[in-house]
Amino acid sequence: MIIVNRYSYRLLSILLAVAFIACESIQEVDENTSLTKVMEIDGNADIELYFSPGEMAVNSTGRIFITDPIAMKVLAFDAMGNYLFDFGRPGEAPGEFNSMSFRCDIDSNDNLYIVDNPCWIQMFDSEGEYLKEILPDVEKIIDMAVFSPNTIFLSSAAYTNWNDFHPIIRVNQEGVVVNRFGYVDVDIENMPNWEKFAVSSCVIDVDDEGYLYYTSIVDYRVFKYDLEGNLIFTVKGETPFEASYEPQPPYGQRTLSPVIVDLCVAENRIYVLWGQGFDERGSRVDVFDKDSGEILGYFYTQLASDQHNVFIEIYNGTDFYTASYDDALVCKFEMN
């Protein structure tokens, strides 16, 4: 059994470790966004509300939901960061979590979807009431993006069937597979399965028109597809880092230092969070035009941490959220 806690943290269910490898140059673009902190939620401030932030989502009223994959619960806060309630606990009954993932999303009806490893999805309303379980026919869910209650995109990884692998799977609310599409821009023919698994892992998001965006966590190339799975564009990002792998005896698992750890689409922009190169300025976020794929600039999250920031979320095109996992701190910034 692998035990995960705040001090031995592994991201995206494939055991991500922090290490970085510097290469040559960085993108020759300007820092194009400034951030002003307007609010923070401290998971260490109140022992009764102690939490480790894994992911977050914001509904149409500005209510904030923060998942805690260690305690396997979800905490709800209002738009000002005031605690409202929490729900969920370890277990196998409806509304309980076997192994909560770091990934969640909200649909147009303000229902919350949370991945429970390895391949289940639990659905709750905006008051934390359990609604249903979705059981898609996939081997492993890496990330999830909900366009509508009946159109759910999954980033999936294979364990066995690599000959017909597509990283993106579209399912309906019953978990029935509607379409499989996408590819990774790496030759996986002769890779060992553990490395294939890492390469195939993608972070994804969907915009208000149903266009799906993803990038592999080890291959910095941004993809855009339409609702039916037709490729609109792909553009290669540039980074001075490369993914690296390290063995972890005695069980043979390998840890991965990722290049990319999250992707968020808001208004007419794609935001990509780096998994390496963090410093006192926080982690770097690249900004692309979502219609053309053109790189527009970058900024830093302004949340320093001993590890990369765990996620990014943008609400109403101006409110920027990110978190430090090791400090249990979720911050909201105004984007200028």
What pLDDT sits at residue 110?
96
Encoded tokens for 89: 């606990």
Residue 30's CB is within 10 A of a number of other CB atoms, namely 9
Tokens of 85: 């309630």
DSSP assignment string, 268-310: TEEEEEESS--BTTB-EEEEEETTT--EEEEEE-S---SS---
Torsion of CA 176, 181, 187, 192, to 10 degrees: -10
Would you state the pLDDT for residue 291? Answer: 96
pTM of the full structure? 0.90
Q: Mind listing the domains of the chain with CATH numbers? A: 35-335 (2.120.10.30)
Distance CA 192, CA 258 (A): 18
Bridge partners of 208? none
The three-class DSSP label of residue 216 is strand
What is the mean pLDDT of each successive set of 10 residues along the chain, which is 336 residues long? Answer: 34 35 55 92 91 96 96 96 96 91 93 92 96 92 94 88 87 94 84 82 95 94 96 95 80 82 96 96 97 96 94 95 96 96
- The rounded distance, in Å, linking the Cα atoms of 212 and 235 is 14
Categorise residue 149: left if φ over 0, alpha if ψ from -120 to 50, beta otherwise.
alpha
Name the nearest CA neighbour of 183 among 153, 227, 223, 137. 223
How confident is the model at residue 176, as a pLDDT?
A: 95
